[in-house]
Amino acid sequence: MSETQKARMLEGLAPRPLMPGNPYLPMPARVREIITETATIKTLRVVLEGEGAMERFHFEPGQVAQLSVFGVGEATFVINSPPSQKDYLQFSIMEVGEVTHALHNLSVGEQIGVRAPLGNFFPYEELRGKNIFFIGGGIGMAPVRTIMLHVLEQAKDYGSISLLYGARTPKDMSYQYELDDWLNHRDLHCTLCVDKAPEDWPHREGMIPNVLKELAPSPDNSVAVLCGPPIMIKFTVEALLGLGFAAHDILTTLERRMKCGIGICGRCNVGSRYVCTDGPVFRCDDIQAYL
């Protein structure tokens, strides 16, 4: 085994919050609030059941959860509230398949299951002192939201913090109720864009990779953090490389179909690495062949 392989294996052993007990057994949780974001996306705020359960629950930004609708199944979602939010866990869910359909049909007060925290997280300690350029495409804004809010809580530890958030149309943009906060945040340079803009759209028009090229952030002492659909990631990574960002300084999340979420069932691997335990956060130099 080579030295780099050993180093990679050690990396996987870094301490992080893990689920206690039987890892297949979901924790009971209750839907506290439902926000309709777009025609296809709803945000659920859920509260873990049991005395002190929310206080005891720790996670890092970027970690994910398997949400259960008992009788229908499980699917994976990033926890998109920051760790400092101890009142609830937030998940933004696009209705695509059976489980997301069932999640969309839930009412406030209904019970679901949560297996969390799963996966690794954004290495925000390593990013201290650097400029961070966040890029969220569509529902990919969910994981970006967590790490961005977390970093903004300690903005003085970082260089400049920027966000480029894009969606197909203004109506496809989640977190509309927060956009003004982000645009006016004193520590955040926020740019919004849509692929096709109506006349009254005051922000940018264009695909994320193109708008990114126009903004042309400097790669000096900078990292880019991006999430979005596979095609957007592919072209945005190309654009970042073109701007001079090193692949190592581009962080993204990979999504794969998952079942166990704990590195066993064999479904979500990219090469020898498992998105559920080695990811979902990767540096691009590790996974470029799989983008």
Q: Which residues bind other proteins (CB under 8 A)?
A: 1, 5, 9, 12, 18-19, 22-26, 28, 68, 70-75, 96-100, 107, 109-111, 113, 230, 255-257, 259-260, 262-272, 277, 289-290
Distance CA 226, CA 281 (A): 10
Q: State in angstroms the smallest separation of the CB of 69 from other proteins.
A: 8
Of residues 30 and 130, the one with the C-beta less far from other proteins: 30
Q: State in angstroms the smallest separation of the CB of 88 from other proteins.
A: 19
Q: State in angstroms the smallest separation of the CB of 71 from other proteins.
A: 4
Alpha helix positions (H), 82-229: 98-104, 141-153, 176-184, 208-215
Alpha helix positions (H), the chain: 3-11, 53-56, 98-104, 141-153, 176-184, 208-215, 230-242, 284-287
Distance CA 111, CA 118 (A): 20
Of residues 84 and 107, the one with the C-beta less far from other proteins: 107
Of residues 136 and 263, the one with the C-beta less far from other proteins: 263
Of residues 42 and 161, the one with the C-beta less far from other proteins: 42
Adjacent-strand bridge partners of 273: 270
Of residues 161 and 278, the one with the C-beta less far from other proteins: 278
Of residues 50 and 198, the one with the C-beta less far from other proteins: 50
Q: Contact 240/208 with Cβ under 8 angstroms?
A: no
SS3 239: helix
Q: State in angstroms the smallest separation of the CB of 193 from other proteins.
A: 22
Q: Report DSSP state, residue 26.
A: P
Q: State in angstroms the smallest separation of the CB of 28 from other proteins.
A: 6
Q: State in angstroms the smallest separation of the CB of 31 from other proteins.
A: 10
Instruction: Verify cis geometry, omega within 30 degrees of 0, for the bond prior to 117.
Output: yes
